[in-house]
Chain A
Amino acid sequence: MADSSLCAVQADGVGYSYGRKRVLENIDLRLEEGGMFCVLGPNGSGKTTLFKLISTIFALQDGEISVAGRSLRHFPTPVRRKIGVLFQNPAVDMKLTVRENLRYHGNLYGLETYDLEKRINKNLEALGVENRGGEMVESLSGGLRRRVEIAKVLLTRPSILLMDEPTTGLDPAIRAELWSIISGIRNSRKLSVLFTTHLLEEAEPADEILLLDQGHSVASGKVSELRSSLGKEYVRIGTYQPKKLAARIRKEGEIEVTVEPAAVKVVPIRGLAAPLAIRLWREYSKEATSVTLCRPTLEDLFLQKTGRLWSSTPGEI
């Protein structure tokens, strides 16, 4: 096992089964203190199971997880004092007001009344919901409910924030707003953050990622290093007839051509992608709907590791 002294969360050889169904196999991860770690995977890849193990909801079966230097197997209760957990479905009581929800949460953690009220006021203000304290949570929008939940989770001043698909069900504008709030909180409170997502773009700002597929780790490391391991920039040509266009482009030579849904991916074997993009646009402008100069993405990484497109992964029913 690696040294876990400066490690907020460390998992070694974690496995889990629901009855006979194996859903996680030999998973390792390491979140540095103050770092941001993303568990990325399509639906059904085992992200939520891994999250429930780290957040102490599920008991460990195989492997070890330590949080803030403490083993989850032996010390789940002290670990719970260190973590703040944001679930996919908001863990707030819809029939209570915003302030009541925060108060019950504080009481659950044994906070004293005076201190609790001070923290509630501070957190509601920090999350921009200070005027909503008396409103029933059920009357708030999805974005506001998330803010209330963040305010609630931060009441206990956790050092590690765990989030399971925190932007599920939110529209893109609210999603961006939420990430900006989380980023601000992370910096101001020096939080270590571990989150799961199935949205590729949400994984990009993370310091490190773990890419899961069907319960297995298919890649892990720093996003920039994983990207550069994929090679050069390339050109993606949008088209209604990708097979036909790919056959024509292949004749050009010194390029690798891959057919994608409604697009053709062209990677130069020698030289740079930018001049190739200009040349391809000139030559195939009639067939092409767009020509884009691309850097390798996490989607490319997934394709390379699994042989499948991210968009073709099976969803949960």
Chain B
Amino acid sequence: MIMQASSSLALREIVRFLRQKNRVIGALATPVIFWFLLGSGVGRSLASSGIRERADYLTYFFPGIVLLIILFTAIFSTVSVIEDRREGFLQGVLVAPDGRSAILFGKLIGGTLLAVFQALIVVLIAPYTDYHPDARVLMYLVAMIALLAVGLTALGFLIAWPMDSTQGFHALINLFFVPLWFLSGALFPASGAAEWIRTLMRMNPLSYGHDALAGLLATRPGMPLPLDLSHDFSIVIASTLLLVMACALQVSRRS
């Protein structure tokens, strides 16, 4: 029954997403524009100072953009927890026999499916950078994207659940999510950063997600998988499980 309820609520997330055209355009176009402008701009600036080539930076920045898409989707799908609460829909779910578990898993499944779908659309751009993922790599990519999506949606859910204001949610999102992304290696590699930044990046589970995405995308057909892939997967799985358990604990508590 929980599966039926959760999958039904997940489907609702997708239907609502597709019915809001602005959301579809915003979710897909923003990271791509961000990638192109920031990648080109920063790349050119770095190139003019003789540090890096523009095309190199666009390629370097690409896995970070995939991560950003997952992040954006998690934010949008969890902000709907607050909207559902404010518009009254959530209370109808909370009085259902397994409503609390259903809303949690519905949001996680819905957010994950949307994130995987959107991230894969962007991965189609990969061959236009220096990446040429094959079927085997794509399989691992989908698994990592799905894991990251579940984890980030769970983190968003954890923040959104006790809140009743979307403004407050966005303020906290800027506080949590944006630094998490900055310190994941999406914008700059850890190797050249200050020691304290490197320490923070090592502590950030998203760094391992980014590392896995970057490693997988750089794996050309016939090449072996990145050496630290299983390490990256272990850390991302463990962090995701912790976040999902924290969410389950939170929703099980009644006021």
Contacts and interface: CB of A to CB of B under 8 A. Distances in A.
Interface of A: 52, 55-59, 76-78, 80-81, 83, 85, 87, 89-96, 100, 103-105, 107-110, 152
Contact of A104 (B9, B88, B95): B9
Interface in B1-27: 1, 4-5, 7-9, 12, 15-16, 19-20
B23 to A, nearest CB: 11
A91 B92 contact: yes
A52 B7 CA distance: 27
Contacts of A107: 4-5, 7-8
Nearest to A103: B8
A89 B97 contact: no
B89 A57 contact: no
A292 B27 CA distance: 65
A46 to B, nearest CB: 15
Interface of B: 1, 4-5, 7-9, 12, 15-16, 19-20, 87-99, 102, 253-255
Contact of B97 (A77, A87, A93, A96): A77
Contacts of A100: 12, 15
B88 A108 contact: no
Contacts of B4: 107, 110
Contacts, number: 83
B255 A90 contact: no
26 contacts: A55-B95, A57-B91, A58-B254, A58-B255, A59-B253, A59-B254, A76-B254, A80-B97, A85-B95, A89-B87, A91-B89, A91-B91, A91-B92, A92-B89, A92-B92, A93-B12, A103-B8, A104-B8, A104-B12, A108-B9, A108-B102, A109-B1, A109-B96, A109-B97, A110-B1, A110-B5
A92 B92 CA distance: 8
Nearest to B1: A110
| 7 closest Cβ pairs, A-B complex | A91-B92, A107-B8, A110-B1, A89-B88, A59-B254, A80-B97, A108-B96
Given A58-B254, A92-B92, A108-B9, 9 more contacts: A57-B95, A76-B254, A87-B92, A89-B88, A89-B91, A100-B12, A108-B93, A109-B5, A110-B97
Contacts of B93: 91, 108
A85 B89 CA distance: 12
A52 B88 CA distance: 13
Contacts of A109: 1, 5, 96-97
A94 B5 contact: no
Contacts of A58: 254-255
A85 B96 CA distance: 9
Contacts of B19: 95
B96 to A, nearest CB: 5
A77 B98 contact: yes
A92 B90 CA distance: 9
A95 B20 CA distance: 9
Contacts of B102: 108
In this complex, the member of B16, B95, B97 whose beta carbon has the largest number of chain A beta carbons within 10 angstroms is B95
A59 B255 contact: yes
B255 A96 contact: no
Residue with the greatest number of chain A CB neighbours at <10 A, chosen from B20, B90, B99: B99
Nearest to A18: B255
A127 B16 CA distance: 26
A96 B91 contact: no
Q: B7, B87, B102: which has the most chain A beta carbons within 10 Å?
A: B87
A107 B95 CA distance: 14
B209 to A, nearest CB: 31
Given A58-B255, A94-B87, A83 B12 contact: no
Given A57-B91, A93-B89, A107-B4, A81 B97 contact: yes
Contacts of A80: 95-97, 99
A108 B2 CA distance: 8
